[in-house]
Amino acid sequence: MRKIYLFFLLLCMQFLWAQFTENDIRFWIGTGSKKAYFIADFNDNNTPKSYAWGYRFDSNDLTVEDMMNDIVAAEPKMSIDIATGFLYSFTYNHHTPGTDDYWISWSGSNAGNMTWNNGVGYTSLEDGKWYGLTYGTDDISINTPPSTPVAAYSSQWYQPSQITNWIGTGNNKSLVVIDFGTDQTNTTDSFVFGIQYDGTISAEQALQLIQNQASYFNVASGNNQISSITLNNLTGYTSGSNSWKLYKGKDLSSWQKKADLSQIQLENNEWLGVSFGERRPSIPTEATNLTLGTTTSTQKVFSIHPNPVSDFIHIETTENIKEINIYSVTGQKTITSHVTRINLQSLNSGVYFVEIKAKSGSTTHKIVKK
C-alpha cells in the first residue's frame, strides 16, 4: 500500500512540474546563446516560497555560484554568502532563513527531475539544465527537490518615481496595482495608482480613496473580499472560478498573498496588489482615464511599430511627448530619447519596455527586439 501511495505521489509531482517550464520564466539575467534555470525554495511559511529565474551565458567554465552572483547583482533585494563553494546564507525580500539549518543544492534535466549535486561552487553550468536550492535539514526537506515555483519578478521593473499623478494628500505614499490579466504573458492589462496619506491606511480605505477621486474606477467588496472592480471599460466580477486575489509587498518582486482585505494594512512605501487572474500583479501602466492598455484609448494615442523590431521603432502619436525611456527586463534603463524614431540596433535580443512620458501622463508598452 505504501508503494502505491508513493507511486501516485511521484506521479502527481511530475504532473505539477510539467506545468512550469522555460516559457513560464519572466526574469532573465545575463546574455549569451546558452540558458540555465535557477529555482530557490526558502521552505518557509510565506506564499509564495519558491521562485525561478532564467540565466543566459556563453562561457564554458561557469558554476552555479557564478550564476547566483550575477542574479544577486541584478536584484538588489537579494543577498548571499557562499563560503568555500557552499551556500551559507541566502536572503530575498521577506525570506530570511537562519543559519542553523542547511541549503541543499540540486540539478537536473528539468524542474521536476533534480538530484543532489556537489554544491554551488563545485557544480558546472550546462546549457539547458535546471539548478535548485532548498532550505532545511529534516528528512522531508532534504529528500524533496524545490517545490513548484512562481516566476520571479524584478524589484526594478516599476518604481514609485514613475508615478506622475498622486491621489490624496499626506506624507506617506503607497502604490496600488490592479491587474486584470488572466495569463502569465500579457502585461498590458495591469495598472497602478499612487496614493498619499498620513499614518496607515487599510486596503479598503486605499481602494475607496481611489474610487472617490477617480471617476473611471469603481470597486465593490463584501465579507472582506473584493467582488468587482471596473477601470474604464475593463471589468472583473467574482463568479465561479474567477475571483480577485490580494497581495501585499514593497515592489513587484516581494508580493505576499493575503487571504482577505482585513489582513492588509499599508504603511509608507508598502504596496497593495489586486489580481483577477492567477498571476501575481505584473508590470503596470499608470492608470488614468486616457492611458489604459490594449483595450482602451491608450493604443489609439500611442502606436509603436514594428513589434517585434530589428533596428528602428517608430512611435506614432498626436500627444506632446516629454521623454521616452527604454528599460530591460531587469529594470535597467538602456535608452533615453526625445524623438519618436529610435535606433535599437545596439540592444541584445529580448523583451524591453518602452515608457512614454507625455503631457497627459505616462504609459508603458512591451516590445520584442529580434
Q: What is the pLDDT of residue 101?
A: 87
The full set of domains in the chain, from first to last, is 22-151 (2.170.130.30), 160-286 (2.170.130.30), 302-369 (2.60.40.1930)
Q: What is the pLDDT of residues 46-90, one digit of tens each?
A: 999 999 999 999 999 999 999 999 999 999 999 999 999 999 999
Q: What is the pLDDT of residue 357?
A: 83
- In this prediction the pTM is 0.74
Q: What is the pLDDT of residue 318?
A: 74
Q: What is the pLDDT of residue 11?
A: 44
Q: What is the pLDDT of residue 227?
A: 93
Give the 3-state DSSP-derived string for 12-31, with helices as H, strands as E and coil as C. Answer: HHHHHHCCCCHHHCCCEECC
Q: Could you tell me which of 310, 350, 314 has the C-alpha nearest to residue 334?
A: 350
Residue 337, C-beta contacts closer than 8 angstroms, at least 6 positions apart:
323, 324, 325, 326
Q: What is the pLDDT of residue 62?
A: 98
Asked whether 269 and 204 are in contact (CB, 8 A), the reply is no
The single-letter code of the amino acid at 344 is L
Cα separations in angstroms, 49 against 95, 146, 253: 8, 10, 12
CA 177 – CA 248 distance, rounded (Å): 10
Q: What is the pLDDT of residue 265?
A: 97
Q: Residue 240: how many CB atoms within 10 A of its CB? A: 5
Q: How many CA atoms lie within 13 A of 139 on its CB side?
A: 0
Q: What is the pLDDT of residue 141?
A: 53
**Per-residue cell: 90:** 541566502
Residue 11, C-beta contacts closer than 8 angstroms, at least 6 positions apart:
none
Q: Could you tell me which of 192, 231, 233 has the C-alpha nearest to residue 215?
A: 231
CA 255 – CA 26 distance, rounded (Å): 15
Asked whether 13 and 143 are in contact (CB, 8 A), the reply is no
**Per-residue cell: 220:** 465593490
**Per-residue cell: 262:** 482585513
Q: What is the pLDDT of residue 299?
A: 38
For 258, counting Cβ atoms within 10 Å of its Cβ (0-12 exposed, 13-18 middle, 19+ buried), the class is: middle
Q: Could you tell me which of 347, 310, 299, 306 has the C-alpha nearest to residue 327?
A: 347
Q: Could you tell me which of 121, 122, 123, 91 has the C-alpha nearest to residue 107?
A: 123
Report DSSP letters for 160-204, one per residue: GGG---EEE-SSEEEEEEEE---SSS--TTEEEEEEEESS-EEHH
Ranges of residues in the chain whose predicted pLDDT is under 70: 1-18, 137-143, 182-188, 289-301, 329-331, 360-362
CA 249 – CA 239 distance, rounded (Å): 26
